[in-house]
Structure 1
């Protein structure tokens, strides 16, 4: 499978022998990133954005690539993350298929794609690769690290493993570990991909792509990224127009919500590598901040209390079922116990876990206010 790389992507080479937390190492690996805004004279206006599972490094449009980014409404001149003031670096996670080294990348030891020979991936590996990227770019201290969803996990791992790298932190819909419900959902997503005969134990190609497995995985994901309240308001029990139904197909889509899920699934197909999806999904389930740092009974609060931050903003969403609000409250309480000046916000958005991508009217002002006060 080919890699999916945005137009203006830049790269940082990781050191040969980059060690993975669960064993193995990488040679000739790289991290994809994009930069937004301008560095000030003091070089102290740098913000790092760590992404969720599927986004690339192209968070917003800029002079080198006018294509709208995945966080277009949040990042840019005069926007909540204001690039007239901040120099912003967004990295694509290690293990992804959008520029950074991952399962579809060529293994220099064999000359073929890694596929399932890629080493076991952890959130800590993603954090270490991001920290190396920042330092390779010449920055020993960040003004702020922002992480949302999986990126919130990566940010906590980065702060714990690289003390002093950031002064401030914004954690959006993040968590110190996955809950049983979200592990169960991701397990079903992985099963859908692995059960597709075209997955072929990871040895698919462009012509033999596990489209049915990927479509099912994406639909399951969309069901958890949004909320039942949004489905009720947006779709109710409305039916698809007759011309949009799969005529002659037994038990085919009939309701508008089914058409919505199918549309999102089809947009996702071939834009994301199935093996990368499996690796990244599993590393989210494996992550446990307390366990990774040797705390008795996996006490993440003790790790959070040791993070030496000046200020933090932690945001959760009332309707988020994937990373529910008590997980963000746990982060805020742990940071506060260690002396960090923490603001915790619980927003009432219809869009569930994905609200940070959509409801900028609610997310933008607190993020802008926090950054302005730094």
Structure 2
């Protein structure tokens, strides 16, 4: 199987928002479709915390992407029409420079010597990719979950670089509940003795900490309604139970264990810690003298669609309403879509049936009625 991943060398030094700088850093990205002569059909997608840049399959890499059913020829993000770009977040371990990368100054992994990471740094690195492709203004910027916060930073830091925006299940700032959950996830990793202040290897790896962090995540990504519907109080068959005190007894426990096992060695623990904390730190009110609405009012775009789901406990619907109101107050024509999916925060990944018509419809209308450039 080939690799569709491409790399951009970031300017060196690359300054970080909270101090420090990176030397010799790069970000990984993938593209689909063709950039037109006017270079005005580009759509950038910014991801949640853990995905790679492989959003959907392509000739070089036919493996399914993390948003396989949403993007591709004839799909909602129609790559026959749009030039789609997906960037792996700075700080991740899926090809971009992050805590797991080698520090050119020492030849050793950065680990905890990596500079403090902010979502503004993620946004600036993504903007560098877009600029390197000769694109001065994106037709649309799509941000999902953590990527939605990075997208808000992108539009604030690079005025005039985005024509339209689709905000998916995100927030203008983390709420205390989301911070509390992420704080516990980070604590689970840090308390694993194999984490060892960030110095671990394959033989001594914080499997237990990462497993608990993932289980906490999966619990909050879905809704109580879905847990009830899928598992109720169904117990495991006797032969499936663990023969130890307080071992797994219910089906839901076994489900979480399976999820955790599949995730644990696929994402670097230090990268997880850095990106998780960056999500907590992001606050658009910093750009509006302490007011979320004033911060949002500084974003200049023509139109936006803001999508949320009523069962999302991490990024509740009320925060989507905040974003919609703020962008409207800034002069954008805004469509607000409140979906009733039982799948909670993960709905944008699994409830394609409802998300796809909303996202595809917005992009179709965008293509049908191009606005004059400013």
Residue 197 of structure 2: aligned partner: 201
Residue 299 of structure 2: aligned partner: 307
Measure the CA separation in 2 of the matches of 1:185 and 1:92: 24
Residue 155 of structure 2: aligned partner: 159
Q: By how many angstroms is 1:243 displaced?
A: 2.9
Please, which of 257, 266, 275 is the counterpart of residue 261 of structure 2?
266
Secondary structure of the residue aligned to 2:266 is coil
Measure the CA separation in 1 of the matches of 2:93 and 2:77: 26
Residue 349 of structure 1: aligned partner: 341
Measure the CA separation in 2 of the matches of 1:277 and 1:339: 36
Where in structure 2 are the equivalents of 1:213-362 lying within 5 Å? 213-246=209-242, 248-291=243-286, 293=287, 295-296=288-289, 298-362=290-354
Secondary structure of the residue aligned to 2:297 is helix
Measure the CA separation in 2 of the matches of 1:197 and 1:138: 47
Question: Alpha-carbon deviations, 1:189-219, whole Å to 9, x = none?
Answer: 0000000000000000011110000000000
Residue 24 of structure 1: aligned partner: 20
Residue 3 of structure 1: aligned partner: none
Gapped regions of structure 1 (runs ≥ 5)? 1-5
Measure the CA separation in 2 of the matches of 1:159 and 1:119: 23
Please, which of 73, 80, 84 is the counterpart of residue 84 of structure 1?
80
Where in structure 2 are the equivalents of 1:14-163 lying within 5 Å? 14-163=10-159
Secondary structure of the residue aligned to 2:265 is coil
Measure the CA separation in 2 of the matches of 1:332 and 1:231: 30
Q: By how many angstroms is 1:239 displaced?
A: 1.3
Measure the CA separation in 1 of the matches of 2:196 and 2:3: 31
Q: Answer yes or no: is 1:172 the counterpart of 2:168.
A: yes
Residue 3 of structure 2: aligned partner: 7
TM-score calculated relative to the size of structure 2: 0.96
Question: Alpha-carbon deviations, 1:43-96, whole Å to 9, x = none?
Answer: 211000000000000000011100000000000111111111011000000000
Question: Alpha-carbon deviations, 1:306-339, whole Å to 9, x = none?
Answer: 2111110000100000000000000000011111
Measure the CA separation in 2 of the matches of 1:369 and 1:290: 31
Q: Is the 8 A contact 2:138 2:163 kept in 1?
A: yes
Secondary structure of the residue aligned to 1:314 is strand
Measure the CA separation in 1 of the matches of 2:227 and 2:325: 32
Secondary structure of the residue aligned to 2:328 is helix
Q: Answer yes or no: is 1:367 the counterpart of 2:367.
A: no
Count of matched residue pairs: 365
Q: By how many angstroms is 1:355 displaced?
A: 0.0
Q: By how many angstroms is 1:8 displaced?
A: 2.1
Measure the CA separation in 2 of the matches of 1:120 and 1:244: 44
Measure the CA separation in 1 of the matches of 2:325 and 2:274: 30
Q: By how many angstroms is 1:39 displaced?
A: 1.7
Measure the CA separation in 2 of the matches of 1:156 and 1:267: 31
Q: By how many angstroms is 1:369 displaced?
A: 0.7
**What stretches of structure 1 move > 4 A for 4+ residues in a row?**
none
